[in-house]
Chain A
């Protein structure tokens, strides 16, 4: 247990991080959500459950993921040493698997026989389809029709893994619409279906649960860095859509004030362009959607905006409630990164380090590129390289004019 002034104590018994979070769902789902919370509390202290997660992390995911010193990039930037926490090397190619393994074991404990999930970039969809294949559970993935088009490699992977991919045409056909449709399915099939939410958002206990499963990122990173450098890093950086890799990276450092923490939000075409970005904290205000109170992109009448980002994984008008809390408390600095800045970071990383980052992670890298030169060479900045960019090569190729 952390101290009384710890930033790591949330959420409270009502699922709140300050005023954020909560359980804003239809009554049909309430009994299930209460049940899920009870089951999770029991699992959390069950050594057998924890041992199974640990075992799968080691032998299935490939943890711990390496902490890598990006030497060429560091020298090029001419400031702080830049490090990557290599979550893109996990099985399935992103951090998403950490959460999926934890939740699928929970679904099994609860006796659920069908899994549903939403996905934006397809990384969570792939990770969900993967664990469903491994644990022999049928799964349906809801994905916006626009995203189906721009993330085709992941759609194919999901299908090959045995998942049914349901394109959602409502709205702009992106992550928000996929989540609406998943919730509709859940309300209808609540009896046998487990909703495997991929980000640290949604009704309590999801934000807490997803954070716990992803916190392995920051916990490992802290140990690895101490072993290599004998101290704490000076800054940690991660991209924020819903914010699962970010909260997983940040959580271990919240009570270390000497560590600066940055979250990179998607500024799309620019933060001043209405509906042209997906930076909910920089460009939105608190509201209620998808089961929680949090910062949201919305018009003056409280209607939710679609938002835009080049990255399908960040193209979401909300953000996990714990981030909203950390934003208000100013513990974490959330910065907007445009499509173009992310594209430049994507190319720089690819050419200098031989690592193709996901466009999502490239937003975090763009912040590192701004930050590192302002710090001395004795300082260190760690980026959570949350996913690999194979899925993005086609859309980036189009942007760069490499494809007709």
Chain B
């Protein structure tokens, strides 16, 4: 049985381009605006959507995503609220996969089984939980697979050939290669090294490999997208939201700013292999 994630990567491959994965923080700066951004993403060119679960202590994130999480929490966002956004999105879009990205504690606090059932029901396709490495697979990864939700693992420059099989063992959907040792929002040091790393990972798995961290422009997307099956863009989109805010509140430019930037980078994605 193919999943929405499988189909999205297959469709991009058939079009001879990488899949475009976009990130937004669920509930930033408020629920209604965030929902409007989410709903607009597929039309603007997103193939896969990562929806951030806000957390008080995002240890792997740079300041841009930290602040977005703070805005969402301040506006009253909760785990259930983010799942509600997915449910709402699914009323109009049955095809675009949604992957929740965040940290474990809010899920653990909610209850793993209850969370998985609610997420599946809402139309969630995958999870990226930053602080759950392979060593902790029994916590959420294995239960998620049983519930029919993909568990997408991060691999990093420090994940060597010896460790890759451990990391890939229970990974499904796609593999997320983190282009650098660092936090979200930092800059890629070497594009060539990223290409080599993607080939190295592909020698170990048939899953698509998406590259994230440090992709900020259409040019970056076109360049990195030559070798990767997908490219992930997060911080610049979150920053686009932040730049339109007045006193922390959304303005009439907020949704369009993200939509335009996504469309711009999508053009880079499309020319990656031409």
Binding site for B on A (CB under 8 A): 14, 22-32, 170-171, 176, 180, 183-184, 187-191, 287-291, 293, 296, 298, 300-304
- 18 additional A-B residue pairs with CB within 8 Å, beyond A189-B181, A301-B106: A23-B136, A25-B133, A26-B154, A27-B134, A29-B158, A30-B135, A30-B159, A32-B158, A183-B60, A187-B182, A190-B181, A287-B105, A288-B105, A302-B79, A302-B110, A303-B73, A304-B56, A304-B57
- Interface membership of B93, Cβ < 8 A: no
Measured between beta carbons, the chain A residues less than 8 angstroms from B131 are 24-26, 288, 291
Which of A288, A293, A300, A304 has the most B CB atoms < 10 Å from its CB?
A288
| Residue among A22, A30, A170, A191 having the largest count of chain B Cβ atoms under 10 Å | A30
Choose from A171, A184, A289, A303 the contact partner of B60 (Cβ within 8 Å).
A184
Which partner residue on chain A sits nearest B133 by CB separation?
A30
Report chain A residues within 8 Å CB of B105.
287-289, 296, 298, 302, 304
A28 contacts B108, C-beta separation under 8 Å = no
Q: Which of B57-75 contact A (CB under 8 A)?
A: 57-60, 62, 66, 73
**Chain B contact patch, size range:** 35 or more
Contact of B78 among A24, A180, A301 (CB under 8 A): A301
Determine how close the nearest CB of chain B comes to the CB of A185; give it in whole angstroms.
9
Q: Are A24 and B132 in contact (CB under 8 A)?
A: yes
Q: Which of B63-113 contact A (CB under 8 A)?
A: 66, 73, 78-79, 103-110
Leading 4 A-B pairs by shortest Cβ distance: A302-B109, A302-B106, A303-B56, A28-B156
Q: Is B31 in the interface zone, CB < 8 Å from A? A: no
Cα-based distance from A291 to B135 in the complex (angstroms)? 12
Task: A208 to B264: give the CA distance in the assembly, Å.
Answer: 51
Report B-chain residues with C-beta under 8 Å of the C-beta of A24. Answer: 104, 131-133, 136
User: What residues of B have a CB within 8 angstroms of the CB of A290 in the complex?
Assistant: 57, 59
Contact indicator A191/B109 (Cβ below 8 Å):
no
Chain B interface helix/strand/loop/mixed: loop
Give the nearest-CB partner of A184 in chain B: B183
* B178 adjacent to A288 (CB under 8 Å): no
Partner of A188, one of B55, B134, B159, B181: B181
- 1/0 per residue B172-192: CB within 8 Å of A? 000000100111001000000
Q: Give the CA-CA distance A191 to B160 in the complex, in Å.
A: 13
- The distance in angstroms between the C-alpha atoms of A304 and B60, with both chains bound, is 16
The one of B108, B158, B160 that contacts A287, using a Cβ cutoff of 8 Å? B108
What's the nearest-Cβ distance from chain B to residue A128, in Å?
A: 20
Assembly CA distance A302 to B155 (angstroms): 26
The reply to whether A31 and B57 form a contact with Cβ atoms under 8 Å apart is no
Give me 5 A-to-B residue pairs in the complex whose CB atoms sit less than 8 angstroms apart, sorted by A's number: A27-B134, A27-B178, A28-B154, A30-B163, A304-B105
